[in-house]
Amino acid sequence: MADIGVLGLGVMGRNLSLNLADHGYATAVFNRHAEVTDRFLAECRQREPAWHRLQGFHELEAFVSAIARPRRIVLLIKAGRPTDLTIENLLPFLDPGDILIDCGNAHWLDTIRRERELRRREILFVGSGVSGGETGARFGPSLMAGGSLEAWKQIEPVWRDIAAKVDPATGDPIEGAEPGKPVRGGEPCAAWVGENGAGHYVKMVHNGIEYIDMQLIAETYWLLRFLGGFDNAALADLFSRWNEGDLSSYLIAITAAILRQPDPGGEGELVNKILDAAGQKGTGKWAATSALDLGVPANALAEAVFARFLSALVEQRHQAARWLGGPPLQPVDDPDTLARQLERGLYSAKICAYAQGFQLMQVAQEEYGWHFDFATIARIWRGGCIIRARFLNRIACAYETTPDLVNLLLAEDFRQVLNRDHSAWRRSVATAIQAGLPVPALSAALAYYDSYRSRRLPANLIQAQRDYFGAHTYERVDRPRGCFFHFDWHGSRQEAEIPNE
């Protein structure tokens, strides 16, 4: 009998199946197109040491029957209606206590609904975020499971086995995995984060932070290239040095590698030949929408999403470049100073990016009845996932030291960094604005920082305007919070306190 089943043999399904097999799990696999299953198994026999632990099926009933009870079935298929249809097709063959594990990028509200509906049928449902792309799925992803504790206990040993591992002393990812030789030891980057849709929500926030982080790095690269005059080789060396310090992260490391890659189709580097139109699959937009719905000021997240939207307007931008004026592009006199400013500014902006993500989760848990352990979430993001970074250790320590921390910006460690480096951050943003180069994420993160630290904001005028045209009321600084007033701007010029309803 198989220990577990994987339904869906796209890139992620194939690689997760091999990861399971490497760790000793007999794995049944199924794809709705039988030829995909056959081709996958044939390829595995040629090059995968653990191929004998994989068993393919052409019929759904046979696939389900081959898995030991209580069955654990991983779904790696397209989110939305395809997932619902797959579950409907599986139900006739399932028994009470069986577990379906959705590892796709599902919307958390869909996961909440599915978990509730399946619970009525005595089927356990887990929505698990999986981060790390195809390499992570193959050799160790970051796994964020959501569902009942009963379901988590059934999959916990498997999830901890196949997850990325980090050194418990340093928090650095343990590298060196290869087919048939999984990493042994270390701290697994897998955890139960909460009920029903919590795992998919945490994965969505992860992706939102990923959007900001990528945009911040791209803006920094752009300023260094066009204002600092660095060529790609010098930029690669610079990012490699940064990867040895506070900025050490997967995204910084791959940026250095990308900048060194020669163009396979011609001269120069490949990055220079790639069209400047960024794609997306929607999870960043979901995160920005959730922030708007919950009233969380995640402006850098929204700007990162909007930046991708704007990048896609290639033809319009080319036309606007001919018609709309701006300052002449003038390289700076001291490129090394610009690089130092951007290094400190990028780190400061990254702190704000993560602060916005954790603040979003903090509000969401109140809305959906979850109870997040933010130190645990930071720890499981240290390996396997796209946003893995050395400073996640600092985030974990901040929440361990102050579990009720309301915002990462207020943690002592990060306060010291921001108080030290905000001036360099401002100078780099100001330099970009004066040069006419867009830095939506760097500047939005700075605006968030300045707004959050401001004792007073101009919202008093906005409230007066709202009361003037719509009688929307306002509060007064000389009265207790929660007492609302309306001024008759058009008639008697009298102020009246409005009773709370």
What's the pLDDT tens digit per position in 188-213?
999 999 999 999 999 999 999 999 99
- Asked if residue 372 and residue 312 are part of one domain, the reply reads yes
Q: Which domain holds residue 274?
A: 202-452
What type of residue is 425?
A: W
- Asked if residue 265 and residue 190 are part of one domain, the reply reads no
Residue 74: both structure tokens together: 């991983």
CATH number at residue 477: 1.20.5.320
* Catalytic hit among 165, 203, 285, 350: 203
Task: Determine the angle formed by the axes of helices 412-435 and 198-226, rounding to 10 degrees.
Answer: 50
* Catalytic hit among 115, 187, 210, 303: 210
Check if the beta carbon of residue 304 is closer than 8 Å to that of residue 215: yes
For residue 210, indicate whether it is catalytic: yes
- pTM of the entire predicted model: 0.94
For residue 203, indicate whether it is catalytic: yes
Domain end position, chosen among 196, 223, 242:
196
- Asked if residue 243 and residue 365 are part of one domain, the reply reads yes
Beta bridge partner(s), residue 188 = 165
Tell me, what's the pLDDT at 501? 65
Q: Closest Cα to residue 71, out of 13, 141, 126, 138?
A: 126
Tell me, what's the pLDDT at 176? 63
- Asked if residue 176 and residue 238 are part of one domain, the reply reads no
Q: Closest Cα to residue 131, out of 184, 189, 175?
A: 189
Tell me the C-alpha to C-alpha distance, in Å, between residue 417 and each of 83, 104, 140, 141, 348.
Answer: 45, 37, 32, 30, 7
CATH number at residue 75: 3.40.50.720
Tell me, what's the pLDDT at 289? 96
The CA distance from 501 to 496, in Å, is 15
What type of residue is 387?
A: I
What's the pLDDT tens digit per position in 348-381?
999 999 999 999 999 999 999 999 999 999 999 9
- Asked if residue 290 and residue 429 are part of one domain, the reply reads yes
- Asked if residue 434 and residue 327 are part of one domain, the reply reads yes
CATH number at residue 339: 1.10.1040.10
Residue 95: both structure tokens together: 């028994």
> How many domains does the chain contain in total?
3
The CA distance from 354 to 350, in Å, is 6
- Asked if residue 376 and residue 270 are part of one domain, the reply reads yes
Q: Could you tell me how many residues make up the chain?
A: 501
Residue 371: both structure tokens together: 């109870």
Domain end position, chosen among 431, 452, 473:
452
Residues of the chain falling short of pLDDT 50: none
- Asked if residue 211 and residue 179 are part of one domain, the reply reads no
The distance from CA 380 to its chain's CA centroid, rounded to whole angstroms, is 13
DSSP label at residue 482: T
Cβ neighbours for 344, distance < 8 A, ≥ 6 positions apart: 420, 421, 424, 425
Tell me, what's the pLDDT at 407? 96
- Asked if residue 150 and residue 47 are part of one domain, the reply reads yes
- Asked if residue 301 and residue 184 are part of one domain, the reply reads no
- Asked if residue 210 and residue 353 are part of one domain, the reply reads yes
- Asked if residue 33 and residue 8 are part of one domain, the reply reads yes
Domain end position, chosen among 139, 173, 196:
196
Check if the beta carbon of residue 132 is closer than 8 Å to that of residue 251: no
SS (H, E, C) 300-366: HHHHHHHHHHHHCCHHHHHHHHHHCCCCCCCCCCCHHHHHHHHHHHHHHHHHHHHHHHHHHHHHHHH
